[in-house]
Structure 1
Amino acid sequence: MESVSPKVQRSTETVYDIASDLVKKLKDAGQTLGVAESLTAGGVMAAITSVSGASTVFRGGVVSYATPLKEKLLGVDGGLIALEGAIHADVAKQMAEGARRITNIDGDETTWGIGTTGVAGPGTQDNKPVGMVYIGIAGPSGTRAWGPFNFPGAREQIREATIIEALHRLRELVSVIPHD
C-alpha cells in the first residue's frame, strides 16, 4: 500500500482527457471495466461513459454510498467494516473486487474493477478526516489499494481529485495487448 499526501497536480489533463485515453487503451487491449463507488457517487462511471464508444469497454457498476450496501452488493467483509469503518484500504480493494465480480457477463470475466471510498465532507466519517480517500483496483494480476490520500479542498474538489486519481491509476496499469 502506498501513501500519498498531499495530492500533487500531475498536469493540465482534464477528467475527460484521462477518461478518453483510458477508454482507448482498454479498447486497444480488448479489456473491460466495472466500477464500485462510494464518495464519488457515480463520478468515475460518468467520466468513463462521457467518452464516445465507452460501451465497448465499460460494463457497469454500483454506487454503494450507504455502508451496508458495500457488504450486501459488493461482498465487502462486514467484520472489516465493523473493525475499521468504510474508509480503509482493504475496503477499497474488496469494493474493486466486487465491481469486477458483479459485472461478469455470461462467464466472460471483467478485466478491471475500481473501488473508491473516502470522506468528501463536510464532516468526518468513522473518525476519518475530510479528504481521506482510498482507491482500489482489481485486475488479472491481483488487487492493489492506494492511499490514504489526503485531498485538500471542498467536497467537489475532493471528489474530482479522487476521480482523476482513480482513472489515472488504472490508465497506468492497463497494458495494451496486441490483437491477432
Structure 2
Amino acid sequence: MKAAIVTIGDEILIGQIVDTNSGFIAKSLDRIGVEVFEMLSISDSREHILNTFLKLQNTVDIVIITGGLGPTKDDITKKTFCDYFEDELVVDTVVLAHVTELIEGFYKRAITQINKDQALVPSKCTVLHNQVGTAPGLWMKKENTVFVSLPGVPFEMKYLIENEIIPKVVRDYHRPYIIHKTILTYGRGESAVAEQIEEWENNLPEFIKLAYLPAPGRVRLRLSVKGTDKQLLEKSIEENVASLTKIIGDIIVGFEDDETLEVILGQILTRQNKTISTAESCTGGTIAQLLSSIPGASSYFKGSVVAYSTEVKQNVLGVSKNLIEEHSVVSAEVAKAMALNVKTLLKTDYAIATTGNAGPSKGDASAEVGTVYIALATPNEVMVEKFDFGQPREKVIDRASVKGLEMLLKEISKKEL
C-alpha cells in the first residue's frame, strides 16, 4: 500500500513555518506497513491543488492532505475537494453541534457564521470527527485512490491520524509488515563506520536495506525489511544486528527503533528511578529543552541552570571566582564544578554541564572558538571531556548538546547490562 503526503500553505513555501506534520504522518503510516511514496508542499492555489490531485490519482492508494480547512477565505481545500469530486458543501449537523458546544460551552463566546461554516462538508465524504478542534477531517475516494483532508494545526492533525485514520486503514486494508531497527553509535564518523563494517554490509541479505543517518557526534544505522512473514523478518534483523555488534560493539550505545536519544534516556532513567539536572553555558539550555520535550520528563528531569555569563556561574551555581581566574571560564575544572554544584543544588543523581566557546568571538574565555568542555556528574564520580567542534556556532551548540546526552546514555546504560 502506497501513500502520498501533501501539505498546503504558502506559509510553508516561504519558510514562515516548518512542516512537522509530514514527518509525523509518515512515521504513523510506516508503523502499520504503509509505504510513503511521495511528500509534497504546495501553494494555496486551486489550480495547483487540482493538478496535484490529478497527478497522484491512481498512482498511490491514499493521499493525506493537511492545511486549508480553516474558517477564513484563504482556506480553500474544502471547496477544491468539491470541484475535484464534482460535489457540493452541505451542513453536517453532528459537526455543527460539536462546533457550537466548543465555541459557546468551552470558549464562552457567541458562535459566529464563520464558526458555523466549519460544519460545511462535501456531501459525498466520510466525516472524520475532530474532538479537539472545529475542522473535521474529510475522507473521499475516487477510482483507486482515497483522498483524506486534515486540518494543518499539528495537535488536531495528530488526533485525527491516531484516532481516525490509522484505525480505519488498519481495519480496511491489507498491508505488509515494515520493520526498522536503528542502531545508535557515537564517537566515530560515518566514513570510518562504513569502512569498518564494509564486509558485513556486503553480506547483508538482499531484502535488508541499510541506511546511514549521520548527525553531529553520532551515526545511526537503520536496517529495514518489508514482507508478509513478520517472524522471519524479525529473526533476520536480529541475527544481522548480533553480527554487527561483534564488529562495532564498542561504539554502539543503544537501539532507537523510531525513538530519539532523549526518549531512550527517559526510559532508562525512569526504569532506574534516577534523576538528571543540567548546568549549561555554551549550549544555552538546549540540553534541557531536549530532555523536557518528552512527555513525562518531570519524573526524572528536575531542572537546569543556564549559566551563560561568568556572574551566573559564580552567583547562582557557586563556582569559585578563584577557580575561574586560575583555569579560565572554559576549562575542565569549571565544567566539573558546574556539574557537581547543580547536582547538589537540584538534588539529582546525575548532572550534565557544558562550558565552551561557541563563537563567533571568544567572549570571557581564552580558549579557541569551538572548544567545549562537557562534564557528567554521577552518584560516584565526575568525568570531563574536552572537544573541538569547530564552526559554525550552530554546529558547536548542536554537537555539544548531543554529546552531553550521549555521555549520560553511555554511563547509565552500564546499569542495564
TM-score range, shorter chain: 0.7 to 0.9
Q: CA deviation at 1:27?
A: 0.5
1:142 to 377, 381, 387: 381
Which amino acid counterpart does residue 41 of structure 1 have in structure 2?
A: G
> Is 1:51 matched with 2:294?
yes
The size of the alignment, in residue pairs, is 166
Q: CA deviation at 1:176?
A: 7.0
Which amino acid counterpart does residue 389 of structure 2 have in structure 1?
A: F
Query: Whole-Å Cα distance in 1 between the matches of residues 356 and 405 of structure 2?
Result: 16
Q: Structure 1, residues 97-128: CA drift from partner, whole Å, max 9, x if none?
A: 11111112xxxxx1001110000000124221
Instruction: State the match for 2:330 in structure 1.
Output: 87
Alignment of 1:1-180 (within 5 A): 8=189, 9-12=217-220, 17-104=260-347, 110-125=348-363, 126-147=365-386, 149-175=387-413
Which amino acid counterpart does residue 219 of structure 2 have in structure 1?
A: S
Partner SS for 1:114: strand
Q: CA deviation at 1:80?
A: 1.3
Q: CA deviation at 1:163?
A: 0.3
Q: Which runs of 5+ in 2 are unaligned?
A: 1-186, 190-216, 222-255
Which amino acid counterpart does residue 328 of structure 2 have in structure 1?
A: G
Q: Structure 1 residues 77, 153: closer, same or farther in 2, change over 3 A?
A: same
Check conservation: 1:28, 1:176, Cα contact below 8 A: no
Q: Structure 1 residues 62, 56: closer, same or farther in 2, change over 3 A?
A: same
Of 154-163 and 119-128, the range deviating more from structure 2:
119-128
Q: Structure 1 residues 7, 152: closer, same or farther in 2, change over 3 A?
A: farther
Query: Whole-Å Cα distance in 2 between the matches of residues 64 and 7 of structure 1?
Result: 30
Query: Whole-Å Cα distance in 2 between the matches of residues 70 and 98 of structure 1?
Result: 10
Check conservation: 2:359, 2:370, Cα contact below 8 A: yes
Check conservation: 1:7, 1:150, Cα contact below 8 A: no
Query: Whole-Å Cα distance in 1 between the matches of residues 321 and 391 of structure 2?
Result: 31
Q: Percent identity?
A: 32
Query: Whole-Å Cα distance in 1 between the matches of residues 413 and 388 of structure 2?
Result: 28
Which amino acid counterpart does residue 11 of structure 1 have in structure 2?
A: V
Partner SS for 1:174: helix
Partner SS for 1:137: strand
Of 65-74 and 30-39, the range deviating more from structure 2:
65-74
Query: Whole-Å Cα distance in 1 between the matches of residues 290 and 188 of structure 2?
Result: 20
**Higher Cα radius of gyration:** 2
Query: Whole-Å Cα distance in 2 between the matches of residues 98 and 113 of structure 1?
Result: 9
Check conservation: 1:48, 1:58, Cα contact below 8 A: yes
Query: Whole-Å Cα distance in 2 between the matches of residues 100 and 114 of structure 1?
Result: 9
Check conservation: 2:373, 2:384, Cα contact below 8 A: yes
TM score, norm. by length of structure 2: 0.38
Which amino acid counterpart does residue 100 of structure 1 have in structure 2?
A: K
Which amino acid counterpart does residue 340 of structure 2 have in structure 1?
A: E
Query: Whole-Å Cα distance in 2 between the matches of residues 112 and 47 of structure 1?
Result: 16
> Aligned-residue CA RMSD in angstroms?
2.1
Q: CA deviation at 1:175?
A: 4.7
Check conservation: 2:330, 2:357, Cα contact below 8 A: yes
Deviation >2 Å, runs of 4+:
6-10, 175-178
Of 162-171 and 121-130, the range deviating more from structure 2:
121-130
TM score, norm. by length of structure 1: 0.85
Q: CA deviation at 1:152?
A: 2.1
Q: CA deviation at 1:12?
A: 3.3
